[in-house]
Amino acid sequence: MRAVFLTLWLGVLMGASAAAAEQVRIPGGTYQPFYALKKKQPVAVASFALDVYPVSNQDFLRFVSQHSQWQRGQVKPIFADRQYLQHWPGPLQIAPQQAKQPVNHVSWFAAQAYCQAQGKKLPSQDQWEFAAQASETKADASQDAHFRQRILDWYARPTQLATVGSTYRNIYGVYDLHGLLWEWVHDFNTVMVTGESREDSSLDRSLFCAGGAVDGADPANYAAYMRYAFRSSLKGNYTLKTLGFRCAKEIKS
Amino acid sequence: MKMYHLYSLLLLLCFSCNPAPEKTGTTGDHATDHAAHTHHESLPAGQPSEQSIYALSSPWRNQTGQEIQLQQSQGKIHLVAMVYASCTNACPRIIADMKAIEAKLSPQALVQLTLISIDPEVDTPERLQALAQKSQLGSRWQLLTGEPDSVRELAIVLGVQYKKINDTDYAHSNLISVLNPKGEIVHQQQGLGIEPSETIKVIQSLHSL
C-alpha cells in the first residue's frame, strides 16, 4: 500500500497534469450581485482568466511537497485549523482515488498561497459569481429557473465528492462551478450577513459603518443567498469538507 | 496555579466575545466546532506562538513613511483597529473609543495602538499623519498602510469585514482587537461607543501576568 502511495507521489511530482494550470478567459461584463450596493445597480467585472477545474488533491499535493510550511502538521493554526488536509492518509500522501477529486479541508490562507505560487490569486467574489452565473448555453443564467433549481438541488444533496470535471461545463469552458463543492473567494469577508433572516435584519447595522448600504437585490435567488451567508460564516483558517478552491488571474489590458 | 486560572478566564473572555458562526444550512459537515479548536500554548511572554498574528510578514508603512512589521509590537499589549482616513462617521468614533481605553491605562504601560488603513491606495503616510494630528494621537500610536492583499489578509486574521461601497467610502466592521505580548487575539470589542471596562479589565490582567 505504501508503495502505491509512493509511486503515486512520484508520479505526481514528475508528470504534473497539464489540466492543473489550465485557464480560460472570462470576457468581462456586468452582473447583478446578490448583495448590491444599491438595488439593481450592476457591478462591472473586467475580463480575467479562471482555472477550468477546481484544484485537485493531486495538484495540492504537488504544492505542499514543494512548500513544506503548508504541509499538514507544519502549518500554523492561525493559517489552518486542525481539520486541514485531514482526509489525506499522510501529510505527503493521497489515496489513489483522491488524486482527481477536488482538494477540500483547505483554508483560505493555504488556497491563496497555492494560487500565489503559480502567479495567480483566488478569484474575487465578483469574478467568481460572474463566472458562476453562466450555464452551459448562457452567459447569464441567473434568471433561468431550471439552472437555479439545479443548484438548489445540489445544495440539498449530501456531499459526495466526485472527480473534477464531472459536473457541467459552462459556456466559457469552466467546469464544476456548481455541483461539486463550494469554493473560496479572495474577499469572502466582504459579506455582511450577520443574521439568519432574509429581511432587513440580515444586516446588523449597529456593527458596521454604512452597513445598511449593502442590501439583498434578488430575494428569489435563494441559492445566491446561501452562498453569501455561507461565506459570511467563514474565517480564514477554517477548513471544511465542502469547501475547495480554484485560482484566477488578472488579464492585463 | 493562580496564573492558570487567570489564563482560563482570559480564554473564556476571548470565546465569549467571539462566538462560533451559525450553521448556514449548507451541505455536508460544518464549522460550528471551530472555536473549541483554538489552542493556546503556554509560552513565555513575548515569544511568538502558533496563534500569533505576527506570523504575518507583510511590510507596512507608518505615518512617517517608515517601513514597519507588525512583529515589532511583539512584547507589548497591542490594540488594533482597521479604519480609513476619509471616513467621517464610524472611524472617528473607533479612534475615540481607543483613546478612551488608552486614557484609562498607565502612561508607563507597554501598549501599542495601531490603526490600519482599509483604503491603502488612497491613504498615503501623509494622509495618515494628517489623521494622527487631527485626532491628536500620541506617541504610542502608529497608523499603517500597505498592499491591498496584505490588508485583506490582516482583516481575515482579525475577523474584520469590509467592502468598498462607493468612490470614497467603505462599509466595515467596527472592531478593536486586543493582542497579548505574543500577538494572540485575546479580546475583541465590537461596536461603537462601547463601555470599555471589559476591554480595560483584559488589558490590566495581561499586565499582571
> Domains, chain B, ranges and CATH?
2-17+52-208 (3.40.30.10)
Residues 143-202 of B with CB under 8 A from A: 149, 152-153, 155-157, 159-163, 165-166, 169-174, 190-192
Give how far B136 is from chain A: nearest CA, Å: 22
In this predicted structure, the answer to whether residue A32 has a pLDDT above a threshold of 90 is no
Instruction: Give the model confidence (pLDDT) of B82-101 as tens digits.
Output: 999 988 878 888 999 999 99
Give how far A68 is from chain B: nearest CA, Å: 16
Q: Is the ipTM of this complex over 0.95?
A: no
The whole domain housing A241 covers: 2-16+30-250
User: Is B87 an 8 Å CB contact of chain A?
Assistant: yes
Chain A environment of B149 (Cβ under 8 Å): 121
Q: How confident is the model at residue A40 (pLDDT cuts 50, 70, 90)?
A: low
Q: Do the domain assignments include residue A195? A: yes
Most distant CA pair in chain B, distance: 54
Pairing mode, strands B77-83 and B175-179: antiparallel
Chain A environment of B156 (Cβ under 8 Å): 108-109, 188-189, 235-236
pLDDT given for residue A38 in this prediction: 54
Give the span between the Cα atoms of B5 and A204, in whole angstroms. Answer: 34
Q: Do the domain assignments include residue A125? A: yes
Instruction: Give the model confidence (pLDDT) of B115-129 as tens digits.
Output: 999 999 999 999 999
Give how far B58 is from chain A: nearest CA, Å: 13
Q: Do the domain assignments include residue A150? A: yes
The mean-pLDDT minimum among A87-96, A188-197, B33-42, B46-55 falls in: B33-42
Q: Do the domain assignments include residue A194? A: yes
What cell does A211 get? 452597513
In this predicted structure, the answer to whether residue B10 has a pLDDT above a threshold of 60 is no
Name the more confident of A105 and B29.
A105
Q: Phi and psi of B92, rounded to 5°?
A: -55, -30
The top-scoring range by mean pLDDT among A214-218, B22-26, B41-45, B136-140 is: B136-140
Chain A environment of B55 (Cβ under 8 Å): 76, 78-79
Q: Do the domain assignments include residue A23? A: no
pLDDT given for residue B17 in this prediction: 34
DSSP code string of A30-63: EE--SEESSTT--EEE--EEEESSPPBHHHHHHH
Number of domains in chain A: 1
Q: CA of A198: how far to CAs of A218, A226, B32, B125, in Å?
A: 10, 10, 21, 41
Q: Do the domain assignments include residue A147? A: yes
Give how far B18 is from chain A: nearest CA, Å: 11
Q: Do the domain assignments include residue A22? A: no
Residue B30 DSSP label: -
In this predicted structure, the answer to whether residue A187 has a pLDDT above a threshold of 90 is yes
Contact A189 B153 (CB under 8 A): no
Q: Do the domain assignments include residue A25? A: no
Task: Say which CATH number the domain at A100 has.
Answer: 3.90.1580
The upper half-sphere exposure of residue A133, i.e. CA atoms within 13 Å in the direction of its Cβ, equals 21
Contact B21 A158 (CB under 8 A): no
Name the more confident of B166 and B3.
B166
Q: How confident is the model at residue A110 (pLDDT cuts 50, 70, 90)?
A: very high
Percent pLDDT > 90 in chain B is 56
Percent helix, strand and coil across chain A, each to the nearest 5: 35, 15, 55
